[in-house]
Every structure is written in C-alpha cells, then in structure tokens.
Amino acid sequence: MMTTTELEEMVERKTGQHVVKMKGVSKIFPNGNVAVDNVDIDIADGEFISFVGPSGCGKSTIFKMISGLVENTTGEIEILGSQVQTAQQKRTDVGFVFQDATLLPWRSVLENVMLPLEFQRMSKVEKREEAERALKLVGLKDYAKSLPRQLSGGMKMRVSIARALVAKPKLLLMDEPFGALDEITRQSLQSELLRIWESQKMTVLFITHNVFEAVYLSTKVAVMTPSPGKIASTVNVSLPFPRDDEIRTTHQFSDIVARVSRDLKF
C-alpha cells in the first residue's frame, strides 16, 4: 500500500508547468446572472482535470472563456503562457470536442478530420497523412472513406476526437463528449481516451456530470456548485495509471467517488 505522499508524488511527476491559469475569473451576463463567480485554478502540464457539477454551474462558461468564445467579466485567464486574447493567434495548440460530434455530413470521415488543418499552411499530402495518423489513433483507420451517417454514435465521437487531435494540441477541451452515448460505448471510449492521453503529451480539461467518469479519467476533479457557479473543491484522484476497468470496483475508487459526491451536495 502506497502512502498518500507517494501517490501525490506520482501524480506530480506527470505534471509540470502550468497550462491554464485562472485568477479571480468571473462571468456576469448582461441580465445580471452570475454564471461563474471568482474562480481560481491552476492546471499543470500533462494533467487530466475534470469539471463536475450539475447543469447551470458554469462548467461550459469556463470552457468558453478558456477557448475565447466568451469574454470574462473580471479576472485573468492565461493559457499556454499567454493571455486568451493573444493566444487566439496560435489556436492549433488547443483542441475541442463537444457533446455533439458536429461532423460535416457531406464530407467523408477523413475529410472531416482534415478540417482543422485547412486553416493552416500545409501541403495536401501532409494534411492527409496527419488525418490518417489521427484516425489510426482512435482506431478508425478503415473508415476513412465512410460518411458520418454510416457510423454509430460512438464512432462519430471517435471521429470528433480524431479531428481535435489532428493538429497535435497541447491542451484538449472536452465538453461532455460522452454525454449522449450509452454506458458500454461510454466506458470503452473512456479507456481509449486515457490511452490517447497517456501516449500524446497533452493536458485534458473534461466536463461531465458523471462522477464515476470524472474519477476514472482524471488526475484531479474540480467540483462545481451552482448559483453562483464556483469551484467548491478540488479533489486529487490518487489512483495509478494506466487504469483498467477493474479499478472501477476498488475501494479507493469508491472512496474518491464518495468524496466528490459529498462535495457536490454543498
């Protein structure tokens, strides 16, 4: 049995420099609704951090602020060492996956994955190779020529993940990506995501309202509570990697799930 400090060190080893820094960040909408209230969080390089909370707790708003889709009312946000607004210049550093796969129905799987590269200077052959590499990563190499409508929900989500990975992002933002999938598909995609995260050097920010999913995937879980949306606590998940399905039935796992669930109630 490892001691807590040992485990913490293990998590620490994977992580290094800060990828996302938020200091006193709030978002107040014009109608006076406080979506996010005074959030401080530092996310280190290589971390897998989940934001758990009920709907309306500002999880998505935090993501939108990090991605620059929504401007923060107060505070400072720094991603990959620069302010959000200036960071817009090199967006290939950040990848996005939404709850909907948002694939273009008229494009083949490969062409869909190539989409982010079309806004970069890159030769056609290179784009193709990169897209094929990303598809291989999610296990869909043989479906390159298929159209999205020929795929199942889980496969569409894989394509969406491949599209996010194609530009080799340092930071991956995932907004309830598996929310619409059935439990079996969800679990297999979770394992797959962990495998990809471990093989690619990147930081993942993951939104979910499923506590089990958050604990299984993450190095840290940020528990959020609504009205006004804020981070109630940050729970370290000191479970070793690589994680397999068996870990879901261990005592440690259920202890952490219980802790997160308790924090959610506050």
Partner 1 sequence: MGNVQTEKLEVNNEMANRKKVNWKFLHSWVPPLIAFLIVMLAWQFGTAMLQIPPYILPKPTDVFMATVDNWSRLWDSASTTILESVIGFFFSVVIGVSGAIIMASSKILERSLYPYAILLQTIPIVAIAPIIVIWFGSGMNAIVIIAFTIGFFPMLSNTLIGLNATDRGMLDLLSLYQASKWQIMWKIRIPAALPYIIAGLKISCTLAIIGAIVGEYIAGIGGGDGGLGYAITVASTTMEIPYLFACGIAASILGIVFFLLVSLLSKVLLGSWHESEMKKD
Q: How far is the CB of 92 from partner 1 (least distance, A)?
A: 8
**Does the footprint of partner 1 cover residue 2 (CB under 8 A)?**
no
Q: How far is the CB of 102 from partner 1 (least distance, A)?
A: 4
ω before 242 within 30° of 0 (cis)? yes
Instruction: Return the number of the residue (50 or 67) whose C-beta is nearest partner 1.
Output: 67
Instruction: Return the number of the residue (147 or 247) whose C-beta is nearest partner 1.
Output: 147
Sites for partner 1 among residues 126-185 (CB under 8 A): 147-149
Q: How far is the CB of 197 from partner 1 (least distance, A)?
A: 20
**Does the footprint of partner 1 cover residue 242 (CB under 8 A)?**
no
DSSP string across the chain = ---HHHHHHHHHHH--SEEEEEEEEEEE-TTS-EEEEEEEEEEETT-EEEEE--TTSSHHHHHHHHHTSS--SEEEEEETTEEHHHHGGGGGGEEEE-SS----TTS-HHHHHHGGGGGS---HHHHHHHHHHHHHHTT-GGGTT--GGGS-HHHHHHHHHHHHHTT--SEEEEESTTTTS-HHHHHHHHHHHHHHHHHTT-EEEEEES-HHHHHHH-SEEEEEETTTTEEEEEEE----SS--GGGGGSHHHHHHHHHHHHHHH-
- What the block records as the tokens of 141 is 């190499």
Q: How far is the CB of 198 from partner 1 (least distance, A)?
A: 25
Binding segment toward partner 1, per CB under 8 A, in 46-54, 87-95, 230-238, 242-250: 87-95
**Does the footprint of partner 1 cover residue 98 (CB under 8 A)?**
yes
Q: How far is the CB of 183 from partner 1 (least distance, A)?
A: 24
Instruction: Return the number of the residue (68 or 229) whose C-beta is nearest partner 1.
Output: 68
Instruction: Map residues 14-53 to x or -, x wherever contact with partner 1 holds by CB under 8 A.
Output: ----------------------------------------
Among 37, 100, 192, 198, binds partner 1 (CB under 8 A): 100
Site residues (vs partner 1, CB under 8 A): 67-69, 88-89, 91, 94, 96, 98, 100, 102, 104-106, 115-116, 118-119, 147-149
